């Protein structure tokens, strides 16, 4: 799962033009929040070429908000989409005014 910025992203006194974010979920303890690492790369091309990430953002997705079923419209796994949407919202709070597209989510 990944998120593509569609506008400049402001972070740590720097501005990054259209960075690319890869999301790595970790197994939560029973009934607890889902830990997620969000790696920021300069671009999608640099990620695929093996470039190092610029930063990593640790997020926790609240388990009480997770949908109770896994049936999603046009997605293979509604839980993965939900987590990606939550991370997108957290990125928007880090860099207000930045916009994002969810990419590379498994679809039906």
pLDDT tens by residue, 45-84: 999 999 999 999 999 998 777 766 666 565 567 788 888 9
Element (H, E) at 40: strand 34-41
Please tell me the predicted confidence (pLDDT) of residue 39.
98
How many C-beta neighbours within 10 Å does residue 41 have? 21
Please tell me the predicted confidence (pLDDT) of residue 22.
97
The two beta strands, 9-11 and 2-5, are: unpaired
pTM, two decimals, is 0.86
Cα-based angle 42, 105, 5 (whole degrees, multiple of 5): 30
Q: What is the DSSP letter of 54?
A: S
| Mean pLDDT estimate for the chain | 88
Q: What is the DSSP letter of 49?
A: T
Please tell me the predicted confidence (pLDDT) of residue 30.
74
């Amino acid at each position: 799962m990944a998120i593509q910025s569609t506008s400049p992203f402001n972070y740590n006194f720097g501005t990054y033009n259209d960075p690319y974010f890869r999301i790595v979920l970790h197994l939560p303890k029973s009934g607890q929040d889902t830990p997620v690492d969000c790696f920021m790369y300069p671009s999608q091309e640099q990620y695929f070429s093996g470039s190092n990430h610029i930063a990593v953002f640790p997020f926790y997705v609240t388990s009480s908000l997770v949908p109770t079923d896994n049936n999603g419209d046009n997605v293979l796994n509604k839980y993965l989409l939900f987590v990606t949407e939550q991370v997108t919202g957290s990125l928007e709070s880090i860099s207000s005014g930045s916009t994002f597209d969810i990419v590379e989510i498994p679809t039906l």
